[in-house]
């Protein structure tokens, strides 16, 4: 056989060997007790240490060991699967994901300062057969232009209209300045390269355009000039490093800046991270984790809000609970964010009187109470509350006029009674349940805010729909210092009951405020300050929560009950 192989030409030798290889293996196997050749077979040792005296060859024992090992492995695996809980990835609750979208809304955006009105309701009442019809009617392209676009960018006519074409068309019209008075694209806007419609709006085009705006580099309609030369360069920059180099080049070319700090890819990445989080993150000022070590105004929350709105964000949008962005900005004490959002709500005079349709709370309510992403009532913001009060004092009900009409479905303006001062309607604003700003501030332990509200003339005699006063709210909150201040300075009555017969003492017992309970029992009200309702409530809580809650047992002992 070897002779036959050697007679083959050299360049065909390897193919013949491959063909004859199975035959050679069968011949070799036939000479070894007719066992087929196994390429993974390893010659066993003659005997293993534990096989001596049992008459088993090493190979036979290895086969037995392998079978037992496989059986044990199968049993162990079955037990593991039986006892192990399958951990599945939970679906993300995209509570505020809508705030990251751009130009996906149909609201009218108004700026009370600049007088700018952008109507995003175009094309909402129309339905289009395909992308070509949309480009012709909304963009103003001819059929030949659309065909030429398709030749340059074949996927163009397969792009989804609602999710991709419409937002990018609006961005081209409003943010890049490519629109005309007729609602279609202008001559400058029609020069857009077709690849633009295939790029990612929220992740690429809009963040980079916003960065150019923040750096005072060419943006808007300047990118469409010279046959969209500058925009084409932005689209061709595939990485943040390439875009940073482009920004440095434009700084020299358009701003005549040759020195100073250069733009690096890290600056681009950090800015885009903040921008992509959307308006909710900017309104709640959740920029500190990215903004550490930066003094640049690019990372300011107020400026980021303006950039997001200029690039398609909706400042009038609500979260899933029906709370507006300006309420969130007030709750987090984001003064720059509040100032940036006020023009879109009709200006300072209108925004200060804004009420949420969900519960009727004002932005003063939120500023006096404090809020975080996952926490409400974490403490008010004295600087913002003081500014709101100064605005309220400057208003005059006689000459106050509404600047713009806001979407009445989501918000309403409380202009007060014709006979009442606007300041009184703001400082003593109540929710739909009748809860005042002072009640919320006292409950959230905002001592400085409570003092400021009282000095400004906040009413301490207001009752909500359940008949609760500020005494009930502060007792529920549990701040002893505020309780004492209200009793001594504002002469708040803590011996009052609501419509259900519950006193502030009962509320303090219900919420486990032991210090307030002790103060009310021992110092303020005395032994006759309770009709027995609070004592029975304290006993019930001990029975409900068991022996482990020491605070409940401590409160119960204040009422001379023996714990059983």
Name the least confident of 172-181, 233-242, 310-319, 516-525: 516-525
pLDDT (0 to 100) of residue 408? 40
Under the banding of pLDDT at 50, 70 and 90, the label for residue 18 is: very low
- Taking 60 as the threshold, does the pLDDT of residue 563 lie above it? no
- Taking 70 as the threshold, does the pLDDT of residue 22 lie above it? no
Pair 472, 507: CB distance under 8 Å = yes
User: Residue 156 and residue 148: Cα distance in Å, rounded?
Assistant: 11
pLDDT (0 to 100) of residue 261? 83
Task: Report, as an integer, the average pLDDT of 56-70.
Answer: 49
The mean pLDDT value of the chain amounts to: 78
Q: Pairing mode, if any, of strands 375-376 and 411-413?
A: unpaired
- Taking 60 as the threshold, does the pLDDT of residue 305 lie above it? yes
User: Residue 25 and residue 372: Cα distance in Å, rounded?
Assistant: 75
Query: Tokens in use for 236?
Result: 């061709």
pLDDT (0 to 100) of residue 72? 60
pLDDT (0 to 100) of residue 57? 39
DSSP state of 108: E
User: Residue 320 and residue 113: Cα distance in Å, rounded?
Assistant: 29
Query: Tokens in use for 553?
Result: 């047992």
Name the least confident of 163-172, 340-349, 415-424, 472-481: 415-424
Under the banding of pLDDT at 50, 70 and 90, the label for residue 114 is: low
pLDDT (0 to 100) of residue 379? 93
Under the banding of pLDDT at 50, 70 and 90, the label for residue 564 is: very low
User: Residue 107 and residue 279: Cα distance in Å, rounded?
Assistant: 15
pLDDT (0 to 100) of residue 126? 64
- Taking 90 as the threshold, does the pLDDT of residue 224 lie above it? yes
User: Residue 281 and residue 376: Cα distance in Å, rounded?
Assistant: 16
Assigned fold of 324-459: 1.25.40
pLDDT (0 to 100) of residue 533? 81
pLDDT (0 to 100) of residue 77? 57
Under the banding of pLDDT at 50, 70 and 90, the label for residue 490 is: very high
Note the pLDDT tens digit of each residue in 496-545.
999 998 999 999 999 989 999 989 988 776 654 566 788 888 888 888 87
Domain ranges for the chain: 1-51, 114-310, 324-459, 489-564
Higher pLDDT, 120 or 351: 351
- Taking 50 as the threshold, does the pLDDT of residue 281 lie above it? yes
DSSP state of 117: E
Note the pLDDT tens digit of each residue in 174-212.
999 998 877 789 999 999 999 999 899 999 999 999 999
Which three-class secondary structure string do you get for 293-359? Answer: CCCCHHHCHHHHHHHHHHCCCCCCCECCCCCEHHHHHHHCCCHHHHHHHHHHHCCHHHHCCEEECCC
User: Residue 297 and residue 320: Cα distance in Å, rounded?
Assistant: 30
Judge residue 113's burial from the number of C-beta atoms within 10 Å of its C-beta, 0-12 exposed, 13-18 middle, 19 or more buried.
exposed
- Taking 50 as the threshold, does the pLDDT of residue 342 lie above it? yes
- Taking 50 as the threshold, does the pLDDT of residue 406 lie above it? no
Under the banding of pLDDT at 50, 70 and 90, the label for residue 380 is: very high
How many CB atoms are located within 10 Å of the residue 431 CB?
20
Percentage of the residues of the chain whose pLDDT score is greater than 70? 70
pLDDT (0 to 100) of residue 192? 92
Under the banding of pLDDT at 50, 70 and 90, the label for residue 367 is: very high
């Amino acid at each position: 056989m070897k002779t036959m192989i050697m007679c083959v030409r050299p360049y065909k030798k390897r193919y013949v060997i491959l063909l004859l290889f199975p035959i050679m293996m069968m011949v070799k196997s036939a000479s070894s007790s007719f066992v087929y050749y196994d390429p993974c077979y390893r010659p066993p040792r003659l005997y293993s240490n534990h096989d001596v005296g049992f008459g088993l060859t090493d190979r036979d024992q290895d086969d037995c060991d392998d079978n037992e090992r496989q059986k044990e492995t199968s049993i162990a695996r079955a037990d593991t699967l039986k006892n192990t809980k399958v951990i599945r990835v939970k679906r993300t609750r995209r509570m505020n994901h809508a705030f990251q979208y751009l130009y996906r809304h149909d609201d009218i955006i108004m700026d009370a300062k600049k007088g700018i009105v952008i109507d995003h309701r175009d094309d909402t009442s129309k339905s289009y057969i395909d992308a070509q019809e949309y480009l012709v009617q909304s963009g103003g392209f001819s059929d030949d232009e659309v065909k030429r676009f398709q030749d340059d960018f074949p996927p163009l006519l397969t792009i989804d209209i609602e999710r991709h074409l419409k937002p990018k068309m609006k961005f081209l019209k409003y943010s890049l300045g490519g629109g005309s008075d007729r609602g279609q694209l202008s001559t400058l806007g029609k020069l857009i390269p077709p690849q633009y419609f295939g790029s990612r709006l929220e992740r690429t085009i809009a963040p980079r355009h916003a960065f150019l705006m923040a750096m005072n580099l060419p943006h808007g309609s300047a990118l469409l000039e010279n046959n969209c030369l500058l925009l084409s360069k932005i689209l061709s920059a595939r990485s943040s490093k390439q875009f940073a180099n482009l920004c440095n080049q434009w700084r020299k070319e358009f701003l005549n800046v040759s020195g100073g700090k250069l733009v690096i890819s890290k600056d681009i990445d950090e800015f885009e991270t903040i921008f992509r989080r959307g308006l909710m993150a900017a309104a709640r000022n959740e920029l500190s984790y990215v903004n550490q070590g930066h003094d640049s105004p690019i990372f300011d929350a107020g400026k980021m809000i303006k950039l997001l709105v200029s690039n398609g964000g909706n400042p009038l949008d609500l979260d899933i609970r029906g709370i507006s962005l300006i309420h969130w900005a007030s709750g987090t004490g984001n003064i720059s964010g509040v100032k940036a959002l006020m023009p879109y709500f009709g200006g300072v005079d209108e925004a200060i009187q804004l009420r949420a349709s969900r519960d009727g709370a004002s932005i003063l309510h939120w500023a006096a109470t404090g809020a975080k992403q996952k926490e409400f009532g974490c403490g008010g913001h004295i600087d913002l509350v003081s500014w709101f009060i100064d605005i309220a004092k400057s208003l005059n009900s006689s000459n106050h006029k509404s600047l713009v009409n806001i979407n009445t479905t989501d918000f309403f303006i409380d202009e007060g009674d014709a006979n009442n001062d606007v300041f009184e309607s703001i400082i003593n604003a109540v929710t739909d349940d009748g809860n005042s700003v002072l009640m919320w501030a006292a409950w959230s332990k905002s001592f400085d805010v409570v003092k400021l509200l009282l000095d400004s003339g906040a009413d301490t005699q207001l009752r909500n729909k359940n008949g609760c006063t500020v005494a009930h709210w502060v007792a529920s909150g549990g701040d002893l210092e505020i309780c004492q201040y209200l009793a001594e300075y504002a002469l708040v009555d803590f011996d009052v009951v609501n419509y259900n017969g519950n006193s502030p003492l009962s509320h303090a017992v219900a919420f486990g405020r032991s210090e307030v309970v002790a103060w009310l029992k021992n110092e303020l009200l005395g032994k006759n300050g309770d009709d027995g309702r609070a004592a029975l409530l304290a006993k019930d809580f001990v029975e409900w929560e068991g022996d482990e809650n020491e605070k409940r047992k401590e409160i119960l002992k204040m009422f001379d009950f023996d714990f059983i």
